[in-house]
A and B are shown apart, each in its own frame.
Chain A
Amino acid sequence: MPEVKLLSDGIFEVTKDKKQLATKNLDPGKVVYGEKLIQVEGIEYRTWDPRRSKLGAMFLKKFNIPLKKDSKVLYLGAASGTTVSHVSDIVSGGAVYAVEFAPRSMRDFVVLASRRKNIHPVLADAGKPDSYAHIVEPVDLIFQDIAQPNQAEIAARNAARYLKRDGYLLLSIKARSIDTVANPKEVYKNEITKLEQAFEPKFEVLNAKDLMPYHEDHLGILAKMR
Chain B
Amino acid sequence: MKINTWFGVLGIGRTGEVLEFELFSKNIRELARCSIVLQENRQHLPPAGFDLKTAALECGFIESSAEYYSLLHEVTLEAAKIRVSEALTADQRIIQAVEALDDINETTNSLSERLFEWYGSYFPESGLSGEALAILIAKYGSRENISPEDPLYSRARDSMGAKLEAADEVLLKGFAESLYSLYGRKRQIENYVQDSMESTAPNLSLVAGPMLGARLISLAGSLEKLAAFPSSTIQVIGASKALFKHLRARAPSPKHGIIYSHPLINTSPWWVRGKIARALAAKLSLAARIDFYSGEKDFSLVEKLEVKVEQIKVSNPKPSQKKQDSGVKPKKKRRK
Contacts and interface: CB of A to CB of B under 8 A. Distances in A.
Given A95-B69, A117-B70, A130 B80 contact: no
B185 interface: no
Interface stretch (B71-79, B145-153, B301-309, B320-328): B71-79
B228 to A, nearest CB: 14
Interface residues of B, number: 33
Interface in A96-118: 103-104, 106-107, 109-110, 113-114, 117-118
Nearest to B7: A134
A17 to B, nearest CB: 37
Chain A at the B interface: SS class: mixed
A134 B72 CA distance: 11
A150 interface: no
A11 B53 CA distance: 28
B76 to A, nearest CB: 4
B84 A107 contact: yes
Contact of A106 (B5, B51, B80, B248): B80
Interface in A127-167: 128, 130-138, 160-162, 164
A142 to B, nearest CB: 13
A122 B80 contact: yes
A43 interface: no
A117 B73 contact: yes
Given A134-B5, A138-B49, A181 B76 contact: no
A113 B70 contact: no
13 contacts: A106-B84, A110-B80, A110-B81, A122-B76, A122-B79, A123-B83, A130-B45, A131-B39, A131-B40, A135-B35, A135-B52, A135-B72, A181-B248
A79 interface: no
Nearest to B92: A103
Contacts of A110: 77, 80-81, 84
B118 interface: no
A15 B244 CA distance: 43
Contacts of B81: 110
